[in-house]
Amino acid sequence: MNEHRRQILQMLAEGKICADEAERLIAATEPSPYSSTVSESNSNLGVKPRPKYLRVVVDSEEDSGHDGPTKVNVRVPMQLLRAGVRLAALIPAPALRRANDAMQEQGVPIDLTQIKPENLEELVEHLNDLTVDVDQRDANAKVKVRVFCE
């Protein structure tokens, strides 16, 4: 029991205030469920905010060094990704079958006809947790690729 509530109950016991006043005072001392912001409640619950962008950062450096490093930074809104996914869901079945055949020829056994718009939406939602780091060092170059959501 917190200090304020104890004091109010003590005042009620001493007859300084009536039961209605005590009830109102207790209600006033309790934090309102709407007083905290959404972000605060999210952080309290451990919920991550929804990502707004997909970022692709590429850092490339040639060992010869005279050209200097090349940096590529791409920021794509998640809304665009979602719209693209919906566009992909509009692809007619015969085209998907042809894509399936072509992918299987390349050794990628994915059945695109099984991918439904609702699954794709879920996939985009879970990109929040995705981070891809590629660090490649060749004899001539050093390339770092980072894909993440923010």
Partner 1 sequence: MIPFVAVVSLRNQKSRTFRLWIPVFLMWIFLVPLGILLSPFIFIGFLICRVNPFRGVAVLWQILTALSDTQLEVEHRSAGLSFHIL
In the complex, the residues that contact partner 1 under the rule CB under 8 A are: 53, 67-77, 79-80, 82-84, 86-87, 90, 92
Task: Provide CB contacts within 8 A for 147, sequence distance 6+.
Answer: 54, 55, 56, 57, 130, 131, 132
Smallest separation (angstroms) from partner 1 to the CB of 120:
12
* Residue nearer to partner 1 on the CB measure, 37 or 140: 140
* Residue nearer to partner 1 on the CB measure, 74 or 110: 74
Smallest separation (angstroms) from partner 1 to the CB of 110:
22
**Cβ proximity of 31 and 128 under 8 Å:** no
* Residue nearer to partner 1 on the CB measure, 29 or 69: 69
Smallest separation (angstroms) from partner 1 to the CB of 36:
29
In three-state secondary structure terms, 62 is strand
Q: What is the number of other CB atoms lying within 10 angstroms of the CB of residue 8?
A: 20
Distance between CA atoms of 119 and 123, rounded to whole angstroms?
A: 6
Smallest separation (angstroms) from partner 1 to the CB of 54:
10
